[in-house]
Amino acid sequence: MGPPWTRGTRKDRSLWIIGSAVDAGEIGGTPSGGTATVPPVNPTFVARRSYAGRDLRHRTLDHYSFKLCDFRGADLRGASLRGASFAGCDLRDADLRDADLSYASFGYVNTHDPEYGRTDVTGARWDGADLRGVTVERVVGWPDHLPTA
């Protein structure tokens, strides 16, 4: 019998590869809290997951790639998100105070509707966040006073 992510249907494997965080109860975990003997294909790619209202303070999520994820009202204070990518994500009212977002990118996903796949940061709190080298493309609600590369 092989590792847990090789058993079951393709859907089961896909959920582990792009959603191990949810299975483990936190981002960066392994299925059922166990120890993985063989790493997944890309453990830092997360798609279509909800972290709305979650407490993610001081997490290290460097170089994670989030696609169509929901971070509405999430507490990301002091989190390290260096080089992270947010494509089509909902970050409305997220708390990003003192987060390290250096060289992160905020962008969009091509969809049937040009308004649908855009990242939305309306109402997010940015006080003290490190925004060095941040790139922003077709983002809703990006404050005028924040830097963009």
Q: What is the pLDDT of residues 7-62, one digit of tens each?
A: 333 343 333 333 344 333 445 443 444 444 444 456 789 999 999 999 999 999 99
Q: Is the pTM here over 0.75, yes or no?
A: no
Q: Rounded mean pLDDT of 78-97?
A: 97
CA atoms of 120 and 29, how far apart (whole Å): 27
pLDDT-based confidence at 115, cuts 50/70/90?
confident
Burial label for 101, CB within 10 Å (0-12, 13-18, 19+), is: buried
CA atoms of 94 and 119, how far apart (whole Å): 12
Of residues 19 and 70, the one with the higher pLDDT is 70
CA atoms of 143 and 80, how far apart (whole Å): 21
CA atoms of 109 and 137, how far apart (whole Å): 11
Domain-wise residue ranges, the chain:
1-41, 44-149
pLDDT at residue number 112: 83
Determine contact, residues 110/130, Cβ cutoff 8 Å. Answer: no
| Model confidence at 128: pLDDT above 50 | yes
Nearest to 98 by CA among 56, 130, 121: 130
